[in-house]
Amino acid sequence: MNFKVTGVPYSQTHFFSRLVLDYLDERETLQPFYNRFPKKELLEAAISDKQQHHQNRELLVEALSDQYPHLRKDKAVSDNIERLKQPHTFTITTAH
């Protein structure tokens, strides 16, 4: 089977506000509202920035464990939550 992959620009879907489209286009007018645009090549710099700030990782693990006790029954999930205690563990959080 041969498939042709095509993409549709966000602006042509008519599902996104001008604000979202401007953000996705990295318009200069929005740059004061965020530190770094989420690009793979900027990830290392973002991690370096985060390493400069103390994070209460124990509290985070405790809060996640309290909020999602049913997830702790899954070993993979439990192991990942425990990894958050390590200073070299970072997460990527996205929102829509």
d(CA 58, CA 85): 6
Q: Could you tell me if 89 and 80 are in contact, meaning their C-beta atoms sit under 8 angstroms apart?
A: no
Task: Give the tens place of pLDDT for each residue, 8-28.
Answer: 999 999 999 999 999 999 999
Q: What's the total number of domains in the chain?
A: 1
Q: Is residue 38 part of a domain?
A: yes
For residue 13, give the 3-state DSSP assignment: helix
Domain assignment present for residue 92? The answer is no
Per-residue pLDDT reduced to its tens digit, 59-74: 999 999 999 888 878 8
**Domain-located, residue 88:** no
Q: pTM here?
A: 0.62
DSSP code for 68: -
Q: Do the domain assignments include residue 96?
A: no
